[in-house]
Structure 1
Amino acid sequence: MNSRAGRSVLVAVGVVAVIIGGVFAGQGANLIPGSTMTGDPKWFYIGLVIVIIGIVLVVRGLRRSAGGRG
Protein backbone atom coordinates (compact mmCIF):
# COMPACT_ATOMS: atom_id res chain seq x y z
CA MET A 1 0.00 0.00 0.00
CA ASN A 2 1.83 3.02 -1.24
CA SER A 3 -1.11 5.40 -1.43
CA ARG A 4 -1.93 7.86 1.29
CA ALA A 5 -5.36 6.25 1.71
CA GLY A 6 -3.78 2.81 2.10
CA ARG A 7 -1.41 4.05 4.78
CA SER A 8 -4.29 5.74 6.57
CA VAL A 9 -6.24 2.49 6.53
CA LEU A 10 -3.26 0.62 8.01
CA VAL A 11 -2.99 3.14 10.83
CA ALA A 12 -6.75 3.14 11.49
CA VAL A 13 -7.00 -0.66 11.56
CA GLY A 14 -3.94 -0.79 13.78
CA VAL A 15 -5.43 1.67 16.28
CA VAL A 16 -8.70 -0.29 16.38
CA ALA A 17 -6.75 -3.52 16.93
CA VAL A 18 -4.80 -1.95 19.81
CA ILE A 19 -8.04 -0.80 21.46
CA ILE A 20 -9.82 -4.13 21.02
CA GLY A 21 -6.75 -6.07 22.12
CA GLY A 22 -6.44 -3.84 25.17
CA VAL A 23 -10.03 -4.58 26.15
CA PHE A 24 -9.50 -8.32 25.65
CA ALA A 25 -6.30 -8.24 27.70
CA GLY A 26 -7.94 -6.14 30.41
CA GLN A 27 -10.82 -8.58 30.71
CA GLY A 28 -8.49 -11.56 30.71
CA ALA A 29 -6.41 -9.95 33.47
CA ASN A 30 -9.62 -9.36 35.48
CA LEU A 31 -9.27 -5.57 35.23
CA ILE A 32 -12.51 -5.07 33.27
CA PRO A 33 -15.41 -7.04 34.78
CA GLY A 34 -18.73 -8.01 33.25
CA SER A 35 -17.96 -10.62 30.63
CA THR A 36 -17.41 -14.35 30.29
CA MET A 37 -13.85 -13.39 29.32
CA THR A 38 -13.22 -11.79 32.73
CA GLY A 39 -10.48 -13.54 34.65
CA ASP A 40 -9.68 -16.02 31.86
CA PRO A 41 -5.92 -15.85 31.13
CA LYS A 42 -6.51 -17.14 27.60
CA TRP A 43 -8.12 -13.79 26.70
CA PHE A 44 -5.20 -11.88 28.19
CA TYR A 45 -2.82 -13.61 25.79
CA ILE A 46 -5.17 -13.28 22.81
CA GLY A 47 -5.52 -9.57 23.59
CA LEU A 48 -1.77 -9.20 23.89
CA VAL A 49 -1.27 -10.73 20.44
CA ILE A 50 -3.92 -8.44 18.95
CA VAL A 51 -2.24 -5.39 20.54
CA ILE A 52 1.13 -6.41 19.08
CA ILE A 53 -0.41 -6.86 15.63
CA GLY A 54 -2.07 -3.46 15.94
CA ILE A 55 1.21 -1.80 16.88
CA VAL A 56 2.93 -3.41 13.89
CA LEU A 57 0.21 -2.12 11.56
CA VAL A 58 0.44 1.41 12.97
CA VAL A 59 4.23 1.44 12.68
CA ARG A 60 4.11 0.13 9.11
CA GLY A 61 1.53 2.72 8.14
CA LEU A 62 3.50 5.56 9.68
CA ARG A 63 6.87 4.35 8.41
CA ARG A 64 5.65 4.12 4.82
CA SER A 65 4.18 7.58 5.19
CA ALA A 66 7.47 9.07 6.36
CA GLY A 67 9.48 7.17 3.72
CA GLY A 68 7.25 8.31 0.88
CA ARG A 69 7.95 12.00 1.46
CA GLY A 70 11.66 11.96 0.66
Structure 2
Amino acid sequence: MKRNLAFHGKTKHIDVYHHFIRKLATDEKIMLKFYSTNEQIADAFTKSLSHAKHQFFKSLLGVCDFESRGKF
Protein backbone atom coordinates (compact mmCIF):
# COMPACT_ATOMS: atom_id res chain seq x y z
CA MET A 1 0.00 0.00 0.00
CA LYS A 2 1.42 3.36 -1.03
CA ARG A 3 0.93 6.29 1.34
CA ASN A 4 1.05 9.94 0.45
CA LEU A 5 3.61 11.07 3.05
CA ALA A 6 3.41 14.73 2.03
CA PHE A 7 -0.29 14.78 2.84
CA HIS A 8 0.26 12.84 6.07
CA GLY A 9 2.97 15.24 7.22
CA LYS A 10 0.65 18.22 6.87
CA THR A 11 -2.27 16.61 8.70
CA LYS A 12 -0.43 14.74 11.44
CA HIS A 13 -0.41 17.80 13.73
CA ILE A 14 -4.21 17.93 13.50
CA ASP A 15 -4.45 14.44 14.99
CA VAL A 16 -2.02 15.35 17.79
CA TYR A 17 -3.89 18.57 18.67
CA HIS A 18 -7.27 16.84 18.41
CA HIS A 19 -6.31 14.18 20.94
CA PHE A 20 -4.59 16.75 23.19
CA ILE A 21 -7.67 19.01 23.30
CA ARG A 22 -10.02 16.04 23.72
CA LYS A 23 -7.96 14.81 26.72
CA LEU A 24 -8.03 18.28 28.33
CA ALA A 25 -11.80 18.48 27.85
CA THR A 26 -12.29 14.96 29.25
CA ASP A 27 -10.16 15.83 32.28
CA GLU A 28 -12.26 19.02 32.67
CA LYS A 29 -9.15 21.22 32.51
CA ILE A 30 -10.77 23.22 29.72
CA MET A 31 -14.36 23.79 28.65
CA LEU A 32 -15.18 24.00 24.97
CA LYS A 33 -17.93 26.45 24.10
CA PHE A 34 -19.81 26.72 20.81
CA TYR A 35 -20.02 30.15 19.18
CA SER A 36 -22.35 30.80 16.27
CA THR A 37 -21.15 32.57 13.14
CA ASN A 38 -22.60 35.84 14.44
CA GLU A 39 -20.38 35.65 17.52
CA GLN A 40 -17.06 34.81 15.83
CA ILE A 41 -15.23 38.10 16.46
CA ALA A 42 -12.07 36.75 14.81
CA ASP A 43 -13.94 36.82 11.49
CA ALA A 44 -13.29 40.57 11.44
CA PHE A 45 -9.60 39.75 10.93
CA THR A 46 -9.94 36.75 8.63
CA LYS A 47 -12.91 37.31 6.31
CA SER A 48 -14.45 39.83 4.01
CA LEU A 49 -17.54 41.04 5.87
CA SER A 50 -20.48 43.28 5.16
CA HIS A 51 -20.12 46.81 6.51
CA ALA A 52 -22.77 46.19 9.17
CA LYS A 53 -21.10 43.01 10.47
CA HIS A 54 -17.68 44.68 10.41
CA GLN A 55 -19.04 47.59 12.46
CA PHE A 56 -20.69 45.16 14.90
CA PHE A 57 -17.47 43.20 15.49
CA LYS A 58 -15.51 46.44 15.74
CA SER A 59 -17.79 47.60 18.53
CA LEU A 60 -17.40 44.26 20.36
CA LEU A 61 -13.63 44.66 20.18
CA GLY A 62 -13.83 48.23 21.49
CA VAL A 63 -12.19 49.73 18.40
CA CYS A 64 -13.07 53.35 17.73
CA ASP A 65 -12.96 55.37 14.52
CA PHE A 66 -9.87 57.41 13.74
CA GLU A 67 -10.54 60.99 12.74
CA SER A 68 -7.86 62.77 10.78
CA ARG A 69 -7.14 66.24 12.12
CA GLY A 70 -5.47 67.51 9.00
CA LYS A 71 -2.22 66.85 7.23
CA PHE A 72 0.79 65.76 9.22
- Normalised by the size of structure 1, how large is the TM-score? 0.37
Bigger helix share: 1
- Normalised by the size of structure 2, how large is the TM-score? 0.36
